[in-house]
Structure 1
Amino acid sequence: MNKKHKQHHEEHIDESWLIPYADLLTLLLALFIILFASSEMDSKKYNSIMRSLNSAFTGGSSFFDQPQVVPIMEDPASDLNKKLEEAKQLSEKQGAEQEQIRKETAELQELKQKLDRYIQDNQLTTQLETKLTNDMLMITIRDNALYASGSANVKPEAQKLAVTISDMLTQYPQYQIEVSGHTDNVPIRNAEFETNWDLSAKRALNFMKILLQNDKITANRFRAIGYGEFQPIDSNDTADGRAKNRRVEVSILRTIKSPNVIGADGKKQ
């Protein structure tokens, strides 16, 4: 009798522990599947998944009982289209800038040729030179071509040069113009100017005023700056070097600056 009762008891072992165990296995399986799927997602999507899991673990008794889960996937096609559109807009902007650079370079090269021809025709090669850079077309004029020593008054014979430059600039109204004065490092000694800064600023201003006598030029395109001796282009230890440092520069500024000058033929200079 006891033997039969013992066998009957063994056939009805309590297996209720299997239910939470199965739920745990199911939850772990879901977690591993999600983590595996997220291994190829970006950080934004991964964070979204983590928020969803956190909501599931803290907000209810079961992962699958949550009625509101943060979306974990984005539309791949929409994301790709957005990136393609951004790339297209960037390409169009860069293309427009490159075209503007080529156009400006062609115009400034044309102006440079006109100036170089004027310099050659008037035998001014020792007094004037032009240079096209990434930022500007610069006209450099030695101070002895424009002023007497220690003076800021433009020589009468040099005013013709200013008028010629002014006439050329009227053909290029889109550019800003900077007129800058420079000296050597020898201190100025006269009653009119206390420092080389004063002298360089006054020289730049006086030359700019002659350029602005042309009624076809608008004054808001121009600015005058005096740099004194603080931007030398040669050594101040020799007479020739000091002579080169004493100068006026008329700079026609590009509207778009490029790391490399692009010529009219599309090639980098």
Structure 2
Amino acid sequence: MKRLILGCLGVALLLSSCVSQKKFADLEAKHKEAQDLLNSATVKLNDCLEEKATATSKMKTLEDQNAFLKANNQELINNMGNLTTLTTKGAENLEKSLESLKEKDLTIRKLQDAITRRDSVNLSLVQSLKGVLGNLDDEDIEISVEKGVVFVSISDKLLFSSGSYNVTSRAKEVLGKVAMVVNNKPDFEFMVEGHTDDVPYRSGVLLDNWDLSVKRATAVVRILQNDYNVDPKRMTAAGRAEFIPVSQTEKSKNRRTRIVVLPKIDQFYSMIEEGMKDPAINN
């Protein structure tokens, strides 16, 4: 009887140890995934901060120039005020000069505010895309921000078979994740670009790499529209053939489809108009 009790206790301890190790492994994997996302977000945030610092420096230079001109104009007004020959025309010119400086300063502040909002929106978009696509191989998909525009570059080996423009089943899953993000960002428009390498296309009914790149772009656009209900008015399909390569030595990197996501132009101008209503600017 004692042997039976001891045996049962041993089995219970063994099962408890296995469960704890499994939970620890799961938590460790989740921690690594969260750390990877945090590292990616930190890199993108640092890039945004560098761009903001550059814009702030330029704005400071312009503000200093404005202050210098204002000081000179004020000195001229003071000097001319002491002259009995001050003409009405001269006074009007000085007034216009000061008004022009005020408008210039206002424009700088409005543009800076719009750029800051745009950068915040882009960072949010990148994090959303990283969240749904972060488990993919970096060689198959790359997300980046360049000059205020978000790019999602997907390799052709993931999207298409060699020389084909039929989207693979695995690619549809990836496009579905992209669609989930863009459907939640109605203030963005995007362009799907097809890119090929420089090997001439000589099979099928297509004429050349221009045809192939365009067909691949329209194939992706149709999937997004028909399978995932992305508004077609927000999309543009474009073929770039082999003329914008990213590598001179690895042709496989040039065979890609790129989704270029950018704010609507009227949305960007709305940001500027909102800045004009800011009491801090108008006072």
Which TM-score applies when normalising by structure 2? 0.59
Partner of 1:245: 254
Quote the RMSD (CA, aligned, Å). 2.2
Partner of 2:182: 169
Distance 2:244 2:231 in 1: 28
Q: 1:209 aligns with which of 205, 222, 226?
A: 222
Distance 1:171 1:84 in 2: 45
1:137 aligns with 2:150: yes
Tell me if structure 2 keeps the 8 A contact 1:188–1:196. yes
Q: Return the letter of the residue paired with 1:195.
A: D
Distance 1:228 1:135 in 2: 24
Partner of 1:185: 198
Distance 1:99 1:181 in 2: 34
Q: Return the letter of the residue paired with 1:115.
A: L
Q: Could you list the runs of 5+ residues in structure 1 that have no partner in the other structure?
A: 1-71, 258-269
Distance 1:108 1:135 in 2: 7
Q: Could you list the runs of 5+ residues in structure 2 that have no partner in the other structure?
A: 1-85, 270-283
Partner of 1:93: 107
Q: Return the letter of the residue paired with 1:113.
A: Q
Tell me if structure 2 keeps the 8 A contact 1:119–1:125. no
Deviation at 1:107? 1.1
Which TM-score applies when normalising by structure 1? 0.62
Summarize the Cα distance change of 1:94–1:158 in structure 2 as closer, same or farther, 3 Å threshold: same
Q: Return the letter of the residue paired with 2:98.
A: L
Deviation at 1:166? 1.4
Q: How does 1:43-122 map to 2 (within 5 A)?
A: 73-121=87-135
Tell me if structure 2 keeps the 8 A contact 1:166–1:212. no
Deviation at 1:114? 2.1
Q: Return the letter of the residue paired with 1:249.
A: R
Partner of 1:148: 161
Partner of 1:159: 172
The answer to which structure has the higher helix fraction is 2
Matched residue of 1:75: which SS?
helix
Distance 2:232 2:96 in 1: 45
Tell me if structure 2 keeps the 8 A contact 1:116–1:129. no
Matched residue of 1:81: which SS?
helix
Q: Return the letter of the residue paired with 1:142.
A: S
Calculate percent identity across the aligned residue pairs.
Answer: 29
Tell me if structure 2 keeps the 8 A contact 1:188–1:195. yes
Summarize the Cα distance change of 1:116–1:88 in structure 2 as closer, same or farther, 3 Å threshold: same
Find the structure with the greater CA-based Rg. Answer: 1
Deviation at 1:135? 4.3
